[in-house]
Amino acid sequence: MQRTAPPEDSTEQKWAELQSQRALVLQNLQLKETELETLQQEAQDISRSAQRAVLCSKDIFREIALLMEKRDSEVEQQILSETKLSRVQELQHQLQQEATELKRSLSKLEELSHYPDHKQFMQCCSLLSTDTHSPESSLQTRPRGDFEFVTRALSVLRAKLQQTLSEFKIPSSEDSQAEPRCRDDFLRYAQEITLDPNTAFPHLHLSQGNRKVTHTSKPQKYPDHSDRFSVWSQVLSREELTGLCYSEMEWSVRDMVRIALSYRDIRRKVWFILLQSIHFPACFFKINSSTQIFKTAFTT
| DSSP string covering 94-147 | HHHHHHHHHHHHHHHHHHHTT---HHHHHHHHHHS---------S-SSPPP---
C-alpha Rg value of the chain to the nearest Å: 42
Q: Indicate if 19 and 48 belong to the same structural domain.
A: yes
The tally of domains found in the chain comes to 3
Q: Indicate if 27 and 46 belong to the same structural domain.
A: yes
| Of 139, 137, 156, the residue nearest 148 (C-alpha) | 156
Q: Indicate if 111 and 188 belong to the same structural domain.
A: no
Q: Find out whether 246 and 287 touch, Cβ atoms under 8 Å.
A: no
pLDDT of residue 255: 62
Q: Indicate if 19 and 61 belong to the same structural domain.
A: yes
Q: Indicate if 25 and 112 belong to the same structural domain.
A: no
Q: Indicate if 18 and 99 belong to the same structural domain.
A: no
Q: Find out whether 236 and 272 touch, Cβ atoms under 8 Å.
A: no
pTM, 2 dp: 0.41
Domain boundary among 40, 60, 83: 83
Domain housing 235: 183-297
Whether 263 maps to a domain, the answer reads yes
Whether 222 maps to a domain, the answer reads yes
Q: Indicate if 32 and 91 belong to the same structural domain.
A: no
Domain boundary among 97, 118, 139: 118
Whether 175 maps to a domain, the answer reads no
Whether 259 maps to a domain, the answer reads yes
pLDDT of residue 222: 93
pLDDT of residue 142: 52
Q: In whole angstroms, what is the distance from residue 199 CA to residue 295 CA?
A: 11
Handedness of CA 255, 261, 264, 270 (dihedral sign): negative
Q: Indicate if 18 and 96 belong to the same structural domain.
A: no
Q: Indicate if 105 and 78 belong to the same structural domain.
A: no
Question: Could you tell me the CATH number of the domain that includes residue 215?
Answer: 2.60.120.920
pLDDT of residue 240: 78
Whether 177 maps to a domain, the answer reads no
Whether 126 maps to a domain, the answer reads no
Q: Indicate if 65 and 105 belong to the same structural domain.
A: no
- DSSP secondary structure string for all residues of the chain: ------HHHHHHHHHHHHHHHHHHHHHHHHHHHHHHHHHHHHHHHHHHHHHHHHHHHHHHHHHHHHHHHHHHHHHHHHHHHTS-HHHHHHHHHHHHHHHHHHHHHHHHHHHHTT---HHHHHHHHHHS---------S-SSPPP---HHHHHHHHHHHHHHHHHHHH--PPPHHHHHSPP-SHHHHHTTB----B-GGG--TTEEEETTTTEEEE-SSPP-PPP-TT--SSSSEEEEEEEEEEEEEE------SS-EEEEEE-TTSTT--EEEEE-STT---EEEEEEEEEEEEEEE---
* pLDDT tens, position by position, 109-141: 777 666 666 666 666 666 555 455 555 565 555
- Beta-ladder partners of 294: 236, 260
Whether 9 maps to a domain, the answer reads no
Q: In whole angstroms, what is the distance from residue 124 CA to residue 19 CA?
A: 142
Domain boundary among 72, 99, 118: 118
Q: Indicate if 79 and 105 belong to the same structural domain.
A: no
Q: What is the per-residue burial (b if ≥16 Cβ within 10 Å, else e) of 65-76?
A: eeeeeeeeeeee
Whether 258 maps to a domain, the answer reads yes
pLDDT of residue 4: 57
Q: In whole angstroms, what is the distance from residue 185 CA to residue 179 CA?
A: 8
Q: Indicate if 201 and 263 belong to the same structural domain.
A: yes
Positions in the chain short of pLDDT 50: 1-2, 130, 269-271, 277-300
